[in-house]
Amino acid sequence: MSDSKALAQGEDKGFDFFGFVARFAPLIFLVALMILFALLQPRFLSSINLFNVMRQVSITGLLAIGMTFVILTAGIDLSIGSLVAFAGLVAAAVAKGGLQDRFTVGEGGIGYGWGLAALAAIAVGLIGGYIQGLAITRLKVPPFVVTLGGMSAFRGAALLFAAGGPISGFEPSFTWWGQGKIGPADLAVPVPVIIFLAAAALAHVALRYTRYGRKVYAVGGNPEAARLSGLNVNRMICSVYVIMGFFAGLGAFVLSARLNSAEAVAGTGYELTVIASVVIGGTSLFGGSGTIFGTVIGSILIGVLLNGLVLMNVSSYIQQIVIGIIIVLAVAFDTFAKSRRRRI
């Protein structure tokens, strides 16, 4: 009897290869992908290209941070691209001092400064997220349906706000937040990358080391148990959509600053890239499992993949096919991993 117990304990202490791979799969895949592209295309590892990848990733990465909070509660937000467009146009209008000079190329209009423009974008995002959170919790409408409606409503609001036209030509103090760099000339880090990494660090601390973060995981893992333990589940669910709105507003501001323009078609297709980044990073669509670190890795992985395919002159149509397949495989892997853990 003692021998069998010892054997069982030895097996329990054995190296779980599948568990290791499941935990670090995104990072392993990212490293392998970078090695592959470096061998196929030497330009890939140049500092200019790597910073370019990170700059491209920073916008969708900010949105992916917010999406992580939502998906951790087993929710989804399909409206982020449209909300980014609407918030970006509002920020642009504030930066230009109104819509009368929206077609001016270069500096124009009295303007209200980048600070108020950023606050306006974030305010629009917060209000949009709050409205959707209320619809989900008070009206008991599934998140998929609410945010699908939001995707159409916010895009329509963006078109209506600017009459379908762009708003462009901002002051240097505004565009610096999207185009500026910090550091020595050869190793200068783009400002959007710094914003992305700083936001990721704060979100990581909030999820892992605060009571709020533990409540988010609890609601996502088992909402009924969370409710019985005294948590206000509806309030928690509403709060994660507000957080998503905050990051949508922040991302909209940075995107407008980077492009020196805001338009109603901005953010089209972002929902696919953002959800892919979160899911590939290991956050379960069923809620209760995932990390900000994984989301950062997933965002970079998507950016590296797209950049490498572009360097290899792969069609943009094929790129969309590849991302779609990767999303399905990531979810399938997550489902298999969960079923295996239950058997163990």
Gyration radius of the chain's alpha carbons: 22
Count how many residues are written for the chain.
Answer: 344
Looking at residue 272, its amino acid is L
Residue 296 falls inside a structural domain: no
Between 252 and 14, residue with greater pLDDT: 252
**Span 109-130, mean pLDDT?**
90
Residue 316 falls inside a structural domain: no
pLDDT value at residue 8: 46
- Domain enclosing residue 262, as ranges: 63-270
Residue 176 falls inside a structural domain: yes
User: For residue range 219-259, what is the model confidence (pLDDT) as tens digits?
Assistant: 999 999 999 998 999 999 999 999 999 999 999 999 999 99
Nearby residues of 139 by Cβ (< 8 Å), 6 or more positions away: 146
Confidence of residue 6 (pLDDT cuts 50, 70, 90): very low
How far apart (Å, rounded) are the C-alpha atoms in residues 115 and 105?
21
How far apart (Å, rounded) are the C-alpha atoms in residues 199 and 59?
11
pLDDT exceeding 70 applies to what percent of the chain? 87
Question: Are the CB atoms for 299 and 60 separated by under 8 Å?
Answer: yes
How many domains, the chain? 1
How far apart (Å, rounded) are the C-alpha atoms in residues 263 and 45?
33
Confidence of residue 325 (pLDDT cuts 50, 70, 90): confident
How far apart (Å, rounded) are the C-alpha atoms in residues 61 and 47?
20
Nearest to 104 by CA among 96, 114, 115, 112: 96
Residue 37 falls inside a structural domain: no
Residue 185 falls inside a structural domain: yes
Lowest mean pLDDT segment, chosen from 16-30, 82-96, 152-166: 16-30
pTM: 0.88
**CA 233 remoteness from chain centre:** 23
pLDDT value at residue 9: 47
Residue 133 falls inside a structural domain: yes
Burial of 262 (0-12, 13-18, 19+ CB in 10 A): buried
pLDDT value at residue 205: 96
Lowest mean pLDDT segment, chosen from 14-28, 52-66, 126-140, 320-334: 14-28
Alpha-carbon torsion 29, 31, 33, 36, what sign? negative
* The two structure tokens encoding residue 251: 């991302």
How far apart (Å, rounded) are the C-alpha atoms in residues 128 and 119?
14
pLDDT value at residue 341: 59
**At residue 165, does pLDDT exceed 90?**
no
User: For residue range 173-220, what is the model confidence (pLDDT) as tens digits?
Assistant: 999 999 999 988 777 889 999 999 999 999 999 999 999 999 999 999
> H-type helices in 107-190, by residue range?
113-138, 143-161, 172-179
Q: Reduced to 3 states, what is the DSSP secondary structure of residue 270? A: helix
User: For residue range 43-60, what is the model confidence (pLDDT) as tens digits?
Assistant: 888 888 888 899 989 999
Residue 212 falls inside a structural domain: yes
Nearest to 52 by CA among 189, 243, 194: 189
